[in-house]
Amino acid sequence: MREAALKAWFWALDYWQATVWQLQALRRPGEQLPRERRAKHVVVIPGVFEPLTFMAVLMRDARRAGYVVHGLSVLGYNTGEIPRAAKDVDAYIREHDLRNVTILAHSKGGLIGKYLQAMFDTDDRIDRMVAVATPFAGSVLAGLLPVRSVRDFLPTAEIITQLQRISNVNHRIVSIYGSFDPHIPKGSFLPGAKNIQVRSMGHFRILKTPDVRQAVLENLG
């Protein structure tokens, strides 16, 4: 009973944090930082229905650590199909001739990043991806919402099964996830990847917790 109450509390905190970031997005423009060809670039891909404000803390940390951070406004609220989004990110990387790229992703963003690595990165512009709370094996809870962009996360969805069959890029992925994720009951473990489970709980609020921030910075490359 106590464990269930604790999880319910963290679930409520999670949605409160998501609401705050959504409201902040109404009055803050997407962040586009200067680009330097020889620098280490971090390309940020948020999750579904997420403006860049969800990633603001991690973006700020990366910038302070000396990375050139690219927040992609081209994805909007990231409700489109994963292959199309991956193509858009690839187009951005090529348009600006970025190399030495680390993808920093949350949730659906990690699926887009993996598809991008596997299908579009033919000339090794991307060194690695650091993904936080990504449903690499899908989520059984995706069927609760009758929305295409969410139902694509079902374990039986075509894009999820396709990505699971692709394993040749897994060694270039760092998957970071909490001890409890209300959106991904079975977690974000990815075979062949570097998997890091932190003590923090949640799907959204962990994007600002100290253990996730530290794990991200230690693995940006």
Output the average pLDDT for the chain. 87
pLDDT at 2: 53
Task: For tokens 């069959």, name the residue.
Answer: 165
- Domain CATH code at residue 142: 3.40.50.1820
Enter the pTM of the model.
Answer: 0.85
Per mean pLDDT, which range of 18-22, 104-108, 140-144, 159-163 is the poorest?
A: 18-22
pLDDT at 3: 56
Domain count, the chain: 1
pLDDT at 16: 47
The domain of 168 spans 2-219
Q: Which residues contact 94 (CB under 8 A, 6 or more apart)?
A: 125
pLDDT at 27: 52
